[in-house]
Amino acid sequence: MIDAVNATRALSLLSRPDDLPLAPSRPADIPFAPPSHDPSFVSTIRSLKRPLKDREALLECRNRDFFSVLTASTRRQEERQRLDSQQRKDGLVAKSRILGSDTGYADDAGGYDATPRPKMLHLKGSKVGEGVPIILVPSASQTLITIYNVKEFLEDGVFVPSDVKVKQSAGEKKPEFVTVRKKFSRDQVVAAYEVRDKPSVLKPEDWDRVVAVFVLGNEWQFKDWPFKDHVEIFNKIIGFYVRFEDDSIESAKMVKQWNVKIISISKNKRHQDRAAALEVWNRLEEFMRSRSHT
């Protein structure tokens, strides 16, 4: 705000006749006093003041109060909890589909819910066999993606080295297969995939369900597969090769001759893993759609 002294000075300058010359500058040590012949001068100045904002007004938000902000924050928290609950339920739906359950699924409280299940990804009229699609990974320990860490990579978007996962398992027997899921939130469709690392145990009808493979980069990985060569393999199955982004080109020399998608991840920047996992999902979904129209 303008104090009374400065306001008086400003008003005296504005009210002087235009033909009067400007007064010479006054030394800074001489105080300025309002005209003594007009006792109402200060009151006139005060009547013309228009305060903009005081200290309390500056802290206020227009059309907002504390209660409305608290309500909005609580509503967002409830929405996150609802989405988390829905994702857990979708996971149980996918599990019941894999186990062959036809009706109902467990609810969040551990009971049974007879509500019809959401749709499962099902490809009719394609060469993909009936049942849960299969993704194959190498059993060799030198590959980045194995049956130990594939679930965390694809579902959570986090790469954890296989040797770390083996130590965390505390000597548990290697699983025959693991199940990974991808949720398509737009139409509430849950896609479930089986991940296996022993192609030799697959039956002929199981090979019709194989839709993807993570390659090691060596021809011997495809030994005894029911295909003529790698050209036929990658025409019927989408291939992925996961490598560290700073590895030498020689490590992918063989893979570049195949129809395989190369996925690069960082050795240290774990926040970039999610983008790599999403690229795998996007490529796989695109491939599955193309298979459904063949």
Residue-wise pLDDT tens for the chain (294 aa)? Answer: 555 556 666 656 555 555 555 555 555 555 555 555 566 777 787 777 777 777 677 666 666 666 676 777 788 778 777 777 766 665 555 545 444 433 344 444 444 444 444 444 444 334 445 688 999 999 887 889 999 999 999 999 999 999 888 888 877 888 899 999 886 545 455 678 999 999 999 999 999 999 999 998 888 899 889 998 889 999 999 999 999 988 876 767 788 889 999 999 999 998 999 999 999 999 998 998 887 766
* Per-domain residue ranges of the chain: 4-58, 69-106, 119-292
pLDDT value for 266? 92
Q: At 163, phi and psi to the nearest 5?
A: -65, -30
CATH classification (class only), 119-292:
alpha beta
Q: How far apart are CA 278 and CA 22, in angstroms?
A: 74
pLDDT value for 116? 45
pLDDT value for 190? 62
> Which conformational region is residue 274 in: left (phi greater than 0), alpha (psi within -120 to 50 degrees), or beta?
alpha
Q: How far apart are CA 120 and CA 97, in angstroms?
A: 8
pLDDT value for 247? 84
